[in-house]
Amino acid sequence: MAENSVTLTDNRNGKSYNFPILDGNLGPSVVDISTFYKDTGMFTFDRGYTSTAMCRSQITYIDGEKGELLHRGYDIAWLAENKIFLDVVYLLLNKRLPNSDELKEFKTELKTRCFINENILKLFDAFPDRAHPMAVLQACVATLSTYYSRDMNFDDPVEYMELAKRLVAKMPTLAAFYYRHSRGYPQIYPDLDRGFTENFLYMMRSFPHSRFELRPIEVKAFDTVLMLHCDHEQNASTTTVRTVGSTHSHPYSCISAGIGALWGHAHGGANESVIRQLEMIGSVDNVDKYIAKAKDKNDPFRLMGFGHRVYKNYDPRAKVLKKMRNQLIDEIGIDSNLIKIANKIEEIVLNDDYFVSRNLYPNVDFNSGLILKALKIPTEMFAVIFVMGRCPGWISQWMELKEQDTIKIVRPRQLYVGPKDITPKN
Binds ligand CMC by CB under 6 A, chosen from 93, 203, 345, 364: 364
CB of 232 to ligand CMC, least distance (A): 5
Region of 191-199, 250-258, 363-371, 413-421 interacting with ligand CMC (CB under 6 A): 363-371
Nearer to ligand CMC, 223 or 365 (CB): 365
Nearer to ligand CMC, 133 or 305 (CB): 305
Catalytic residues: 308, 365
Binding to ligand CMC (CB under 6 A): which residues in 274-333? 294, 302-309
Binds ligand CMC by CB under 6 A, chosen from 60, 197, 363, 396: 363
Binding to ligand CMC (CB under 6 A): which residues in 171-200? none
The bridge status of strand 5-10 relative to strand 15-22 is antiparallel
CA–CA gap between residue 71 and residue 350 (Å, rounded)? 27
CB of 349 to ligand CMC, least distance (A): 8
Q: Name the residue whose CB lies closest to ligand CMC.
A: 307
CB of 305 to ligand CMC, least distance (A): 5
Region of 78-86, 204-212, 263-271, 417-425 interacting with ligand CMC (CB under 6 A): 263-271
The bridge status of strand 74-75 relative to strand 60-63 is unpaired
Task: Tell me, residue by residue from 38 to 67, as one string, x for binding to ligand CMC by CB under 6 A and - for no binding.
Answer: ------------------------------
Does residue 339 contact residue 275 with C-beta atoms inside 8 Å?
A: no
Nearer to ligand CMC, 116 or 270 (CB): 270
For position 270 contacting ligand CMC by CB under 6 A, the verdict is: yes
Nearer to ligand CMC, 199 or 363 (CB): 363
CB of 172 to ligand CMC, least distance (A): 20
Nearer to ligand CMC, 254 or 349 (CB): 349
Nearer to ligand CMC, 76 or 303 (CB): 303
Nearer to ligand CMC, 120 or 364 (CB): 364
# residues near ligand CMC by CB under 6 A:
20
Binding to ligand CMC (CB under 6 A): which residues in 133-172? none
CB of 323 to ligand CMC, least distance (A): 18
- Write out the residues near ligand CMC by the rule CB under 6 A: 232, 235, 266-268, 270, 294, 302-309, 358, 360, 363-365
